[in-house]
Chain A
């Protein structure tokens, strides 16, 4: 077995994963990759058609012409979310022409990618480096994937490409609208999804770039979110996505009374602690609880006559409402979660497209996330040291991706509104199953039974001294959950490493081990 060493958060990390040497997590801001950014090979314009028409007969033809062969890394973006009809077909083609041991490098995966399991079994794919949801996570957790999975944050994906840790051989980029030259955006067409921000890294750094569209439009297709001068081939297909699964027609504020209570407590905390203030920068997800917090924050801002200067998306119709009512001055968006948001990006000049490329990336000269006053995030588990887990459940199974979670931890105030337990599974542990984010970056845990402030945030503890809110220690909250749920046994987990969890700088913060049923 590979040698293992203890990293800065006390987790044992193999010194080698997938045949490459690892760098164990050293602490926040301690690791700096050196040298020059990775660059793709130099192309030459004379190798491309003078008339600009790069449309080719089929995805198979494009992949073959791009030199698809064993062991290559194929990247995709996830803007078509659960309605993606492109990613799976790449590997169907690869399987058909007998290519083996590919690495799939998606910016995220969804339940619709379940058929990938077949290609993991038949040897077409060696491993996934990206997020692993539901069925894929289960497959990995049971130790059935040939290679070791590597999970990165959205920002970590950009970092890994820019410092040469991952070399994308072929990027296959689904585009809701494209012209024959490869200029593409996501504003129009039957599969319009608003933005293509996650694909920026891919089209700039891949050796070969294939744009796949179901909506070939006249040249020039403006704005060109993907620039055609980086594109090798354009493939036209009947359908790249199932619209109702790409964006939810309507994202909904939670109706659960418990979650609404958590949202209300969160908003009240933000107000009393003065984290919420005129001109603040804020970011919240599209989950039901986050949306409810957004709603309450909206009401507070309105009643005080304040404005949020900037909201960072994934945006929703609720954020758009704030923009339209003048309670929020700008929305910057890496992705759009519902149809209201998609429409707003196309119409509202203060609703800006802003790729994660610039917002989350460790190799950027500054990040948007560290400017955020309010950052609302989730977690499957946190521990008494405020370490957070977003990838595994308490039974050891890998079931979620990291998304932008790690990157967002860099905000000024990180708040996790979470229930104290879910169907008898306590959320606060002595030790999280998998450390995805170190405790020093998580400031406030809001549960339906109390709010815990990280002891490192003496300023907040001081400020909330006289609050009527139920401020408790995290140990008190943990004890409360245990008293209700009863003492639990430890899951049985083997030593075999099935996935590596990367920190934003490319070091390994933790690993996931095979679950024994």
Chain B
């Protein structure tokens, strides 16, 4: 036994949809649960049951547990209670709630990654509604947004969120911790349909290989077939110099991002809105991405109140060859999507390709071509996505092909 009193979770004036668990192991007296909750009238009984179930699952027979609750969902309470238990009981067991059906979807390499919304990995209130804002990806962050002494809690919360929170089709991403601690995060992620891992402070192919080795081991153990994609984040001068090496380190590296906050610090320069200090780094990274055939993703824009500046920023980003950007506020998503939206010539080209593909399929041809030029399947796929996106953004009509054929 490590120590007898454990605490986990968050409580405070502004904290909602979370709980704070105080657990004390006892030598006798059975299990006593006390609840302070503003939703006790509605959920007191079910919360009580859940706490008892978890304590029993970990073989705890005598304990006092105080649950201070501000409307936490069961998956949050479960994560907090498990985190408290694991401070006082050594165990490899995991208490898993149901994996909801809505979360059983997969991702793909060519997916658009215009926007990815960062969510602090230990803040449940921000996770619940993240998906309704329809970002391309949702990042549950275990790294910078989680305090050092909360890392273990966050691993469990992120695991439970991956299983139980509906992200409405967004690509399911997690930013793991830096090497080597990041390797410890994997067992909480890989078995739970994580689509992509963001690898912070990446500085060489070796890290990617180490990571993949561990991922493979877990995939085998849990009989997982699907690819787990990687998005290394370049955040240092060394990382920038090794960009191409990193981008080509594995076929699972499908995108690469740049983190300018740390990079400018490493450079010894101040981060400005004009961003001339990081021009080299960004273009260097974009070039490496294109050479390696992976998506180049830009850093976040941190002034969440200034949508106009964000829009300008995205335009510059797109003009440099970036294909996506991080978001730290849901309101940034729409602006980013609109600014990265395909432009008219791009849409026209996509129409031609998709039309040729439909033609070829109807004629039973195996090869898609426009004139004498053969079109590769990934290009077709991408064109289809451009069309879908343009439709979704209201840039073209759902029945665009009729118009196209009539022209």
Contacts and interface: CB of A to CB of B under 8 A. Distances in A.
Interface of A: 257-258, 260-261, 394-396, 422-425, 448-449, 484-489, 491-492
B26 interface: no
B302 interface: no
Contacts of A488: 42-43, 46
Contacts of B70: 423
B43 A257 contact: no
B339 to A, nearest CB: 18
Interface residues on B, range: 20 to 34
Given A258-B132, A484-B73, A486-B73, A424 B331 contact: no
14 contacts: A257-B331, A261-B132, A394-B42, A395-B41, A396-B41, A424-B43, A425-B39, A484-B73, A488-B42, A488-B43, A488-B46, A489-B45, A491-B42, A492-B41
Contacts of B132: 258, 261, 448-449
A392 to B, nearest CB: 12
A136 B41 CA distance: 20
B133 A423 contact: no
A488 B128 CA distance: 18
A484 B72 CA distance: 11
A489 B74 contact: no
B42 A423 contact: no
Given A257-B133, A260-B331, A424-B71, A395 B128 contact: no
A453 B10 CA distance: 38
A487 B133 contact: no
B45 A258 contact: no
Contacts of A396: 41
B17 A424 contact: yes
Contact of A448 (B72, B129, B329): B129
B46 A423 contact: no
Contacts of A449: 132
Which of A395, A396, A484 is most buried by chain B, counting CB atoms within 10 A of its CB?
A: A484
A492 B45 CA distance: 13
- Ordered nearest first, which 7 A-B pairs have the shortest CB separation? A423-B71, A257-B330, A424-B71, A395-B41, A488-B42, A491-B41, A258-B129
Contacts of A425: 39, 42, 71
A394 B39 CA distance: 9
Contacts of A491: 41-42
Interface in B27-86: 38-39, 41-46, 70-74
Contact of A424 (B45, B72, B129, B329): B72
Contact of B17 (A257, A395, A423, A489): A423
B271 interface: no
A423 B69 CA distance: 10
Contacts of B352: none
B385 interface: no
A486 B43 contact: yes
Nearest to A264: B334
Contacts of B351: none
B385 to A, nearest CB: 18
Contacts of A448: 129, 132
B16 interface: yes
Nearest to B46: A486
B46 A489 contact: yes
Nearest to A468: B394
A252 to B, nearest CB: 13
A486 B129 contact: no
B150 to A, nearest CB: 21
B44 A485 contact: no
Residue among B17, B41, B72, B331 with the highest chain A CB neighbour number at 10 A: B41
Interface in B328-372: 329-331
Given A394-B41, A424-B72, A425-B42, 6 more contacts: A258-B129, A423-B38, A423-B71, A484-B128, A487-B46, A488-B42
Contacts of B71: 422-425
A377 to B, nearest CB: 22
A205 B38 CA distance: 43
A489 B330 contact: no
Nearest to B126: A257
A492 B42 CA distance: 10
Contacts of B73: 424, 484-486
A514 B48 CA distance: 25
Contacts of B42: 394-395, 424-425, 488-489, 491
A356 to B, nearest CB: 34
Nearest to B333: A257
A394 B60 CA distance: 34
Contacts of B133: 257, 261
A489 B44 contact: yes
Nearest to B117: A257
Nearest to A450: B132
